[in-house]
Amino acid sequence: MPRKQPRTILQLATRRLGQVKGGLAAAHIAQWVMVTAELGRVPTTVEYSEWWAVDERTGWRHRAECRAVLGDEWQSVVQQLADHVTQKQARSPRAVMGLALSA
């Protein structure tokens, strides 16, 4: 029987990075998505860091986690998810982590 494909950000992240690291990475992806939805574009790492009041080094670590889960095209995935967040008015990281990923 073929393996079931992950359907949400959280499922994909935990499959790729394990339960603990994947859960944290999914939360950080949700944070990137939320800032992107608010700004209307993917923020720079400095903008992201300022938005969430974390130091720039932490922002770069969160960005690396996004890439580890979503791949090299992570920015376009984040933008697509942000567009969906705007339509659905998902306002919490939990709601964003539960968004379905397109195939």
Per-residue model confidence as pLDDT tens digits over 11-67 = 999 999 999 999 999 999 999 999 999 999 999 999 999 999 999 999 999 999 999
Say which residue, 6 or 47, is predicted with more confidence.
Answer: 47
Decide: helix, strand or coil at residue 8.
Answer: strand
**Cα–Cα distance for residue pair 10/61, rounded to 1 Å:** 18
Strand partners, 8: 100
Decide: helix, strand or coil at residue 100.
Answer: strand
> pLDDT band at residue 68, thresholds of 50, 70 and 90?
very high
Question: What pLDDT is recorded for position 3?
Answer: 59
Strand partners, 100: 8
Decide: helix, strand or coil at residue 102.
Answer: coil
Per-residue model confidence as pLDDT tens digits over 79-97 = 999 998 888 777 778 888 8
Q: Where do the structural domains in the chain lie, given as residue ranges?
A: 9-97
